Amino acid sequence: MIKDKITNLQNKLFTAITVLLALITFIPISFAQSINNNSILFNSNSQKSLNSSFTTSENNILTNDSNTNPSNETNQKNLVQLRIIPSISDSNSSAILTYSLKPNKNTEDILTIHNESDYNSYTFNLYAVDAAQNKRGDIYYKLANQEQNAIGSWTNFNKKGLKIFPNQTLRIPYSIHIPQKITPGTYQGGFVVELQNSSNEDNQIKVVSRIITPFRVTIPGRKFIELDFKNFEYNKNPKEPLFNISLSNSGNVILKADIDLEIKGTLFKEPYKASSNENILLPDSSINKNISTQKLPFLGKYQASAIVNLYQFDTNKNEYIYYQTLQKDIEFTIIPYSFLICLLVLAIFIIFIAVKRQKCLKKIKENSFTHIVAKGETLTSIANLYKINWRTIVRLNKFKKPYTLRVGKKLTIFVKNKKK
């Protein structure tokens, strides 16, 4: 009957909606609006030192760069076990070697290379190169055939085809000469031990293994520190929400930035915190750092703060010392549009069912009449009288077992075509 069909339709619709809601991922497509882009400065005497390792891949030459020495005793025959000491006066220091030289001055020193392997001999080229930095903030070292504008051109030694035998130590003198006209500041480069590897058969790609020891040269003069906190924004990527922070070092001092991210808002009892530390900025370089926020709720209004603790490289102490703190704030709202679409679809289904039900009830009312139970009548005899199923009478009149009829009871009877 019509009422039975309504019930079945309603059950099917709710089942479909439940499956739909279970399958759809709540994608927090959101929008962000920046506000209060103010810088807040603080001062402190705190300080911290840093050592770094870097890699590079450039100009159709794949480089496997390392500035660490292998210490694992397993598979020693397959390990490159060369230890590089960049200065005869700096053999036990863990900090990056730094020279302080005036324009048109030079210094001489000795580079020590020790082969700690008991099995392997190595043939290598030895040279110095400039350091550079990409937009991700990675510091890499130029290749020997690239143009060298600073340390790579100031350092005088270029040894090719050197060979070192097991447990042998080589001491190689070098000199650094600073040109007359040079801008004051701190420059970074590296000593490179380039192992001689074979190329592939078609000679289109050359694989180069390099061991790099970084060092710095500081040219005395006016110190100019300027960090531009260019951008702080919320990335709406639904798969991996990110906060993008852009920093630019326009000065002549190497800087280190420790970035702290703090988020407050609707569904956070305690502020959500994340960080990106040890971000080195060479002079005249810019970096873009992305901080992932996987634990963000799927909806709500929030405020995010990016706090950048800035450190400058002190050539006298050969370490980073605290300089200042910069901060930017943004507000953003996360709106889960897919979830809202599901709710809208659910609401449309409910409205559709309600309208359909009202139409069916109206039709039932138009095609129903009252039957008064007479003596001797049963549900079966009344159903046979009107050629309907006795269960329809039970459901329509909300009978309960044992479905007892009494004389004079008024029953609502529904037929498809009521005779007028």
Cis amide prior to 402 (ω within 30 degrees): yes
**Amino acid present at 387:** K
CB 31 within 8 A of CB 116: no
Single pTM value for the model: 0.63
The H or E element containing residue 97 is strand 97-100
* Residues whose CB is less than 8 angstroms from the CB of residue 18 and which lie 6 or more positions away in sequence, other chains included: none
Give bridge partners of residue 326 from the DSSP assignment.
308
Give bridge partners of residue 322 from the DSSP assignment.
311
End-to-end Cα, the chain, rounded Å = 21
CB 263 within 8 A of CB 230: no
Question: Along the 420 residues of the chain, how does pLDDT read in single tens digits?
Answer: 444 555 565 555 555 555 554 444 433 333 333 333 333 333 333 323 323 333 333 333 445 566 544 344 444 555 678 888 888 775 556 678 899 999 999 999 999 999 999 989 999 999 999 999 998 889 999 999 999 999 999 999 878 889 999 999 999 999 999 999 999 999 999 999 999 765 555 556 667 789 999 999 999 988 889 999 989 998 876 567 788 999 999 999 999 999 999 988 877 778 888 899 999 999 999 999 988 876 666 677 889 999 999 999 988 888 899 999 999 999 888 777 777 788 889 999 999 998 888 887 777 777 788 899 998 899 899 889 888 888 888 888 888 888 888 889 888 888 776 554
**Alpha-helical segments (H) within 79-210:** 151-154
Cα 320 off chain centre by = 27
Q: How far is CA 188 from CA 133, 332, 391, in A?
A: 11, 39, 91
* Residues whose CB is less than 8 angstroms from the CB of residue 248 and which lie 6 or more positions away in sequence, other chains included: 227, 228, 230, 281, 285, 286, 287
Closest by CA to 267, choosing from 28, 24, 25, 36, is 28
Residue where the block lists tokens 């005497």: 45
DSSP code string of 299-346: SEEEEEEEEEEEEEEETTTTEEEEEEEEEEEEEEEE--HHHHHHHHHH
DSSP 8-state assignment for residue 3: H
> How many other CB atoms sit within 10 Å of the CB of residue 15?
10
Cα–Cα distance, 317 to 311 (Å, whole number): 13
Cα–Cα distance, 199 to 185 (Å, whole number): 39
CB 228 within 8 A of CB 250: yes
Per-residue pLDDT tens digits for 382-419: 889 888 888 888 888 888 888 888 889 888 888 776 55
